[in-house]
Chains A and B, each alone.
Chain A
Amino acid sequence: MSSKSSGLLFYIVSRILLIIPMLLILLTLIFIILRVLPGDPVYFIVSPQAGEHIIEQTRHELGLDRPIWEQYVSYLMGVFRGDLGKSYITKDNVWSIIGRHLPITIELATCGLFVAAFLGISFGTFAAYKSKSWFGVFNTILSTIAYTMPVFWFGMILQILFAIQFRVLPATGILDTSLSITRITGLPALDALITGNMRAFVDHVARLILPSITLGFFISGNINRMTHSNVLKALNEDYVRAARARGIKERVILFKYALKNSLIPVITLLGMNFARMLSGSVLTETVFSIPGMGSLLVNSIFRRDYPLVQGIIVVYALLISIVTLIIDIIYAYIDPRIRL
């Protein structure tokens, strides 16, 4: 690669091109797995007690009577034309179903990410800095609790505390039934802001707080540990000692030397978790009755809604590719030794 900037462009393009074979493999796999799994989608649409005729008719309508390879080819053709098909159950376009569930998941994942990053990185860093004080011990306990505690349970505790006991925050849902938000971008918070609907905005954001904390706290455990151990290691590096010998302030050493040098693995972990959160968090969504991607996926698998499951997978794959691409770009930004 010749120069950094032209290299970057080349890199991004090649990464995007790589998505195509990846999608192909993924879809083939999921196509096979779905069809190998026991259970016939037709019976989720019409009752098994219905007449043979009706069942066959439905099967025909869904195209499930065609040979497998024919279904496969026509589905793939559809995908590469941008058509994900229609849900077997609701007959809605898969894109529009996902379009209804994805935005709230993105919001939740983003907020969860911020909570996790803030809690994990700040506590981890400070604990490494004060590793010999009581805070170090406290933090070890805290981070262990964070990722061993059942999410379900933690979410409920928060609900009981803040929604039922103190009544400061709403317990469930994403918007009060008396309010509504005009859809523009799809992201409720953003749309509420754009349309100037402040009441809806406040209500919506308030409802995001508890689930975000639930999700973020859980993930912060790992982030915390990783930050802690990396910062601790970096603080023992020779360049830190050399910086101290120049009289650089401890605060600067902690952030600019130790933390920044430790950030790469932490960001990888954050990115991976973000991708995971984007695929929905069934438990959190269930506890807080949020209509997100997690419950959508679980339901569609349960009902053998092939097009919907496949569609969700396509969207995940795209999102994950974008997230990892962004992570790589952040790497190169932080560490000059990494050339894209």
Chain B
Amino acid sequence: MEDIITTINVKKYFPIKMNFLQYLITRKREYIKAVDGISFSLRKGETFTLVGESGSGKSTIGKLLIKSLELTDGKMIFEGKDITRVKGNELKALRRKMQIVFQDPYSSLNPTMKIGDTIERPLKIHKICQKRKIKEKALEMLENIGLSPAEDFYEKYPWQLSGGQRQRVAIARAIIICPEFVVLDEPVSMIDVSLRTLILDLLIKLKQQYDLTYLFITHDLAIASYISNTIATMYLGKIIELGSKKEVLASPKHPYTKALLSAVPIPNPKMKRKKIIPKGEIPNPINPPTGCRFHPRCNYAEEICGKKEPELVEVSKDHKVACHLC
């Protein structure tokens, strides 16, 4: 299958705030290296899931891909076109094809707009469908996403909704215009398990129906295993493992991915499993460790790990790992 998005060595650094005096004294700018050289491709029609450490740059990647953040360095290609620096009308056209569900459903909904208006807005902005059909479409979407009776929710304001209800509004807003590519940043974290499955299934159905591509970000590996085709693990601004769902879940290679999988809480109070919790502190993206970024916490680390940064290399078909020992 063809690639829809490719990123080549993408970086995003956030400058650290300094006051004038500090700046005069140090004369050195420090950066939070949120995303630090990442290359990957999304195939059209797949669900690519990013999992990994909190603060490792997952949301930042999502925002870079839909161009709501400018990248510091690197290149991005969408449908064969270089979109690294697109602006103006081209960008607007691109926005129509790319949507995002932000991690936080609270700050991303306009508090002064009713739910109905929020959902209809993208239809109006991009002039997707006939005027008289807009409301019908919005109501149908609300019903689909489990906000029923839809008429009731249509008239509500965001602050009248619970966390999970807001998340669903955010999802509805993003997929109502059937974009080609959607970034879903923790879209169902506040929704109960039963409804969550319903919404995941809806997402899967829409994907098949309209040939959408998803970048899915989640901490819940059960969700990842339910919805993904490809899974990538991130650690401190880097992708450290990437492969098909089967490969990554059945035979994780990177010590961090292994630890992650071992620590998934089991919904069975009688089963206790030994969790592998990496030792040491969560490192700092301002000056990440040399060599392999995970080496200070890795149980298997050898001398080379602290010296040389491992590349993300293919270890078997559909499976890449960045670890010296794999």
Does chain A touch chain B in the assembled complex, meaning CB atoms less than 8 Å apart?
yes
Interface positions of A (Cβ within 8 A of B): 1-6, 8, 236, 238, 336
In the complex, the chain A residue whose C-beta lies closest to that of B17 is: A4
The CA-CA distance from A3 to B13 in the complex, in Å, is: 12
- List residues of chain A with CB within 8 A of the CB of B19: 4-5
Q: Does B80 contact A (CB under 8 A)?
A: no
- List residues of chain A with CB within 8 A of the CB of B15: 1-4
Q: Does B133 contact A (CB under 8 A)?
A: no
In the complex, the chain B residue whose C-beta lies closest to that of A8 is: B20
The CA-CA distance from A10 to B19 in the complex, in Å, is: 15
In the complex, how many angstroms separate the beta carbon of B269 from the nearest chain A beta carbon?
A: 30
In the complex, the chain A residue whose C-beta lies closest to that of B19 is: A5
- List residues of chain A with CB within 8 A of the CB of B272: none
- List residues of chain A with CB within 8 A of the CB of B315: none
**Residue tally, chain B, CB below 8 Å to A:** 11
Q: Does B40 contact A (CB under 8 A)?
A: no
Q: Does B23 contact A (CB under 8 A)?
A: yes
Q: Which of A1, A4, A236, A238 contacts B18 (CB 8 A)?
A: A4
Q: Which of A6, A238, A336 contacts B23 (CB 8 A)?
A: A6
In the complex, the chain B residue whose C-beta lies closest to that of A238 is: B106
In the complex, the chain A residue whose C-beta lies closest to that of B23 is: A5
The CA-CA distance from A6 to B18 in the complex, in Å, is: 10
Interface of chain B, helix or strand or loop or mixed? mixed
The CA-CA distance from A289 to B232 in the complex, in Å, is: 76
- List residues of chain A with CB within 8 A of the CB of B274: none
| Contact across chains for B106 and A5 when beta carbons are under 8 A apart | no
| The 7 residue pairs across chains A and B that have the minimum distance between CB atoms | A5-B23, A5-B20, A3-B29, A4-B17, A3-B15, A2-B15, A2-B29
In the complex, how many angstroms separate the beta carbon of B165 from the nearest chain A beta carbon?
A: 15
- List residues of chain B with CB within 8 A of the CB of A8: 20
- List residues of chain B with CB within 8 A of the CB of A3: 15, 18, 23, 29
Render B8-32 as a binary contact track against A, CB cut-off 8 A, 1 for contact.
0000000101111011100001000
In the complex, how many angstroms separate the beta carbon of A339 from the nearest chain B beta carbon?
A: 9
In the complex, how many angstroms separate the beta carbon of A230 from the nearest chain B beta carbon?
A: 13
Interface residues of B in 148-169 (CB under 8 A from A): 159
The CA-CA distance from A336 to B18 in the complex, in Å, is: 11
Interface residues of B in 61-118 (CB under 8 A from A): 106
In the complex, how many angstroms separate the beta carbon of A81 from the nearest chain B beta carbon?
A: 34
In the complex, the chain A residue whose C-beta lies closest to that of B31 is: A2
In the complex, how many angstroms separate the beta carbon of A226 from the nearest chain B beta carbon?
A: 16
The CA-CA distance from A238 to B166 in the complex, in Å, is: 14
| Contact across chains for A336 and B17 when beta carbons are under 8 A apart | yes
The CA-CA distance from A238 to B105 in the complex, in Å, is: 13
- List residues of chain B with CB within 8 A of the CB of A2: 15, 29
